[in-house]
Structure 1
Amino acid sequence: MTANMYICGIWMLFIGFAYGQVQYQACVEYCGSAMPPNVTGIVNICMESNNCTYCKFVPDCCPEVACANPVPSTDGRCLICPGVDCIYDENEHIIGETFTSLDEFNSCRCSKSKKVKCTKNPIPLTLADFCS
Structure 2
Amino acid sequence: MNSSMNTILCACVLWICVTISTSGYVKRGTLGECVRVCHPHHPTWIKKMFRYCIVEDDCVYCKYYGCPELKECKRRRVVVPPEPTLDRNCMICPGTCVYAGKIFNRRDRFKAVDGVNECQCQNVGKVRCSKKPNPSPRKFCGV
Q: TM-score range by the shorter chain?
A: 0.5 to 0.7
Contact 1:73–1:85 (CA under 8 A) maintained in structure 2: no
Q: Which has the higher helix share?
A: 1
Tell me the residue number matched to 1:3: none
Residue 108 in structure 1 maps to residue 136 in structure 2: no
CA pair 79-54 structure 1, distance change in 2 beyond 3 A = closer
Deviations 1:83-105 (A, max 9, x none): 633233322311x3332222222
Query: Which stretches in structure 1 are left out of the alignment for 5+ residues?
Result: 1-11
Q: Distance in 1 between matches of 2:65 and 2:131?
A: 16
Q: Which residue identity lines up with residue 102 of structure 2 in the other structure?
A: E
Contact 1:62–1:87 (CA under 8 A) maintained in structure 2: no
- In the TM superposition, 1:10-21 aligns within 5 A as 13-14=14-15, 16-17=16-17, 20=19
Aligned partner of 2:108 among 90, 94, 97: 97
Aligned partner of 1:69 among 68, 76, 79: 79
Q: Which has the higher strand share?
A: 2
Residue 30 in structure 1 maps to residue 37 in structure 2: yes
Residue 86 in structure 1 maps to residue 87 in structure 2: no
Question: How much identity, in percent, do the aligned residues show?
Answer: 23
| Deviation (angstroms), 1:119 | 3.5
Contact 2:28–2:38 (CA under 8 A) maintained in structure 1: no
Farther off after superposition, 116-125 or 58-67: 58-67
Task: Name segments (4+ residues, structure 1) moved above 4 Å.
Answer: 63-68
| Deviation (angstroms), 1:36 | 1.6
Q: Which residue identity lines up with residue 54 of structure 2 in the other structure?
A: M
CA pair 63-123 structure 1, distance change in 2 beyond 3 A = farther
**SS of residue paired to 1:113:** helix
CA pair 40-102 structure 1, distance change in 2 beyond 3 A = farther
CA pair 41-116 structure 1, distance change in 2 beyond 3 A = farther
Q: Give the TM-score taking structure 1 as reference length.
A: 0.62
Contact 2:115–2:140 (CA under 8 A) maintained in structure 1: no
Tell me the residue number matched to 1:60: 67
Q: Distance in 1 between matches of 2:56 and 2:80?
A: 43
Q: Give the TM-score taking structure 2 as reference length.
A: 0.58
| Deviation (angstroms), 1:25 | 2.5
